[in-house]
Amino acid sequence: MLNGSGNDTLGNRKEILSFGPLCVAPQYQRQKLSKILIEHSFEAARNMGYDVNINFGNPGNYVSRGFVSCKKKNVSFVVDGNFPTALLVCELVPNALDGKKWMYIPSTAADCCEDTDAVEKFDETFPKKEKKWMPSQEEFYIYSHSSVVR
C-alpha cells in the first residue's frame, strides 16, 4: 500500500501490488523466463485493476522490465522515510503516481516467517537441501541496506 504525504496528497491511499523475489533455477537462466514471468504478472495485475508494482530486489534484475528507483517516483520507505536502493517501482499505467510524494507501507504477509520454529517445520516437508549463504544474498543485503541520497 502507498500512503500519500504532503499537502496535496495527505491521507490518500493507493493499493498496489508487489511480487518477488523472482527466482529461476540456474539451468534455466538466460532463456527469457524471468522476462516472461514478469510481463505475465504485469498483465495479470493490470487486469485486476492495479496500476503500480513495487518490488524489493536487485536493480540489475528488474530495471530492464521498467522498474526504476523509488526516489525517481517519490516513494519513500515508511519505516524511516528514506529511499532504499532495493525498493523498485514500476508504473503499470503511465503517470499512475502523478508525481506526488508517497510512503510505501509493506505487506504483513511475511510476518509469519519470524516464527523460526514454524518455518523449520514447513521446510521439513520438502526434500533435504543444504542451506548456505550465496553471494547474491550478500549483494541483496547490501542493496537493501543502502539508500539513494535525497
pLDDT, tens digit (0-9, with 9 covering 90-100), for 31-70: 999 999 999 999 999 999 999 999 988 898 899 999 999 9
Confidence at residue 7, expressed as pLDDT on a 0 to 100 scale: 45
Q: Which of 108, 144, 105 is nearest to 16 (CA)?
A: 105
User: How many domains does one find in the chain?
Assistant: 1
CATH code of residue 78: 3.40.630
In a domain, 124, yes or no: yes
- On whether residue 150 sits in a domain, the answer given is no
Distance CA 79, CA 98 (A): 23
CB neighbours of 42 closer than 8 A, spacing ≥ 6?
53, 65, 90, 92
* pLDDT recorded at residue 9: 46
Q: Is residue 149 part of a domain?
A: no
Range of the domain at 7: 2-144
For the segment 91-143, what is each residue's pLDDT rounded down to a tens digit?
999 999 998 889 998 888 888 888 999 988 998 999 988 888 888 889 888 98
Looking at the domain assignment, is residue 38 inside a domain? yes
Q: Cβ(106)–Cβ(72) under 8 Å?
A: no
Q: Residue 13's pLDDT band (boundaries 50, 70, 90)?
A: confident
88 inside domain:
yes
Q: Is residue 52 in a domain?
A: yes
Beta bridge partners of 90: 53
pLDDT category at 150 given cuts 50, 70, 90 is: low
Amino acid in position 71: K
pLDDT at 79 over 70: no
Q: Indicate whether 72 belongs to any domain.
A: yes
In a domain, 37, yes or no: yes
pTM of the model: 0.81
